[in-house]
Structures are given as structure tokens and as C-alpha cells.
Amino acid sequence: MKAAIIEKSGRLDVKDMPEPRMGEYEALCILLYGLTCTGTDSHIIDGSFPWISPLPTVLGHESVGRVVAIGGKVRNYRLGDLVTRVGTPQTPDGKISVTWGGFAEMGIARDHWAMCADGLPADQWSGSRNNQIVPTGVDPRVAPMFITWRETLSYITRMGVTAKSSVLVAGSGGNGLAYAVHALNLGAACVAMVGAAPFEDSAKKRAGIHLYFDYRQSDLTEKVRQAFPDGFDFIIDAVGRTGLADQLLPCLKSGGKYGTYGLNDSGKITITPGRARGTFTVHPCAYDEAETHQRVSELVLQGKLKADLWYDPAHPYPLTEIEAAFAAVRQRHSPKALVKLSA
């Protein structure tokens, strides 16, 4: 089968590798579609991500597969099921590792429910809780977005955003847009975004974001404070750039919460408390993707989460052109790009 493999930093190639072997608690899947992620994939490719498996490694964590075979102890998957976060495992000889392994033609979903019920140690199945079944009626081209939607919904819900909250999101990429849309769906009274100028029109007219600020303007802090003088209840940094926290902290209401979710400068972020208006809480980067699967499923079926805000579902890139997909995102044609993984 073919897979997108990083053999050295800065280069992603589509190459042949062995098909995965299915275990007794596992389902073999044809991988259908995957999504680019600027927050992780791009940094993994260039070697700047905080954790990367040994090279060569198979990339991709936002993927969906269809079950085509089932192991003897599988009880919760059926042939034909769509399953999220499917990836190929590393090769048996260990010569090709995986950094999630979603950009491949075949992959494995693990029946973590059965493994838990049968008393297997949690370290054998807890990492597979993101292998969730997509409801009937969801377009497979939409299903890879479940990963972004689940992570961000879990984070923003744990943060405490509710109806009537005011929320400022830093970042107009896939994650930033997800936070803003979730805040709107939660009924937030004001949702603002600091982002790239090319995405302003779509963010305001299509997503319904109330206020938008170009991150490049030199007087960003003052512009935000002028537009929303009372200060925001919540600020979410979906980028994770050094210095951004100090720019935005004066825009946080006294008693508010500030959270850094982005990983661009992971381990280097600092906050200067003296920039704040008063007391504030730093929210940890903690979420559980599996806990919001049901809610995301409901929002998709209700039409409240629509993938076409992030990418064009009708025009995926073939796996062999995955580098063009990443290039399109870098050029800000769209926040994400869809990749067709199998023929």
C-alpha cells in the first residue's frame, strides 16, 4: 500500500509500505480521507514538533476509515462502519514508525470497548479511544473534521465557555476557526478572532464571527480594547506564538481565563502577569477527544458544524499530491485541505 512518509525533516514522500496486520481486537479499515493540520503535521514535517517518532515515519492524525475485516474478539465494529482516527501501525520490523499514521491506504481501528470489558490493561487500549464510529448519514468527506471538532469542543467546554460568554480566539486556522464556531454554538454573546486578513470575510460572513482583527497590525492590543472595552471572559490562543500572550492579556477581563492550545512555540511561551487588568486564571491545555464524540455527531447531523467552512469537500487532493494540499494551506487558500487516501 502507499503512505505519506517523512524520511528526513522537511520532506514528505508518498511511498510503498506493507499493509497492516489485524489483531484479534482490531478491525482492518480502508482509509478514505484525511485532513492536513497546520498545528501538528506541518511541524512534524519540518522537525519542530515536540514529539516525533523515529524517522522514517507515517504522518497523519485526522483520518477516517471504513471497516473491511474484523478480528475474532471484536464486538463493537461492523463491516462497513466509518471509524475516526484510523492509522496504520508501525511495520513489524520497526523500520517504518508512525506519528499517528493516518495518511495511508489501509489502517487499524482497535475495539477499545471490548478490550476494557475483557479486563486488558488500560495502556493497551486507552490510546485507541479516538477510534469512534461515525453516525450513519455523515459524508465520509466530512468525517475527518471530527478530530478537530472533538478536541476543541472538549477544551472549550472544560474551559467553561457558556451562553453569554465573551470569547477572543487567536488564530484563524483550522483550530482557531473551530473554537470560534463552538463558542457561537454554545451561545456566546461576543466571539472575536485575531487572524490572517485573507480569512476575515469568510469568518464574519459565513461563520458569523462578530469581530475580526488582523494579527499583523502594530497596534493590535489597542484595536481590540477599543472594539471591546469591557474585556473578554475567555481568550484562547490557538497558535501558541511567543509574545502573543502578552499582546492579548490586557484584553482579558479581570477574573477571566486565558488558555494556550497552539504548539508553534511549545515550551517557550511566557506570560507577564503585570499585563493583566486584574486577577486571571491560566487554563491548562487539557481535553479528551472521545468525551465529545456524541455531541459533535449531533451538531453535524443538525447542520451546526459544516466542513465547508474549513475546506472544499467536493475537491480532495489525491494522496500522491499531498504536498500540494499542504502548499494550498500555507498559501491560505483555506484553513485545511482534504486528501483522498485510497482509490
Q: What is the pLDDT of residues 263-302, one digit of tens each?
A: 888 888 999 999 999 999 999 999 999 999 999 999 999 9
Identity of the amino acid at 258: Y
pLDDT band at 343 (very low <50, low <70, confident <90, very high): confident
What are the cell numbers at 5?
512518509
Alpha carbons 209 and 192: distance in angstroms, whole number? 6
265 CB neighbour count, 10 Å cutoff: 16
pLDDT band at 94 (very low <50, low <70, confident <90, very high): very high
pLDDT digits (tens, 9 = 90+) for 196-225: 999 999 999 999 999 999 999 999 999 999
Question: Domains in the chain, start-ordered, CATH in brackets?
Answer: 2-141+313-340 (3.90.180.10), 147-283 (3.90.180.10)
Beta bridge partners of 107: 29
Identity of the amino acid at 31: L
Which residue, among 41, 92, 24, 74, has the nearest Cα to 323 in the 3D structure?
A: 41
Which residue, among 330, 334, 293, 294, has the nearest Cα to 314 in the 3D structure?
A: 334
Alpha carbons 234 and 161: distance in angstroms, whole number? 7
Does the structure show a pLDDT above 80 at 50? Answer: no
Alpha carbons 251 and 224: distance in angstroms, whole number? 7
Beta bridge partners of 83: 65, 133
106: Cα within 13 Å, side-chain hemisphere: 16
pLDDT band at 250 (very low <50, low <70, confident <90, very high): very high
pLDDT digits (tens, 9 = 90+) for 188-198: 999 999 999 99
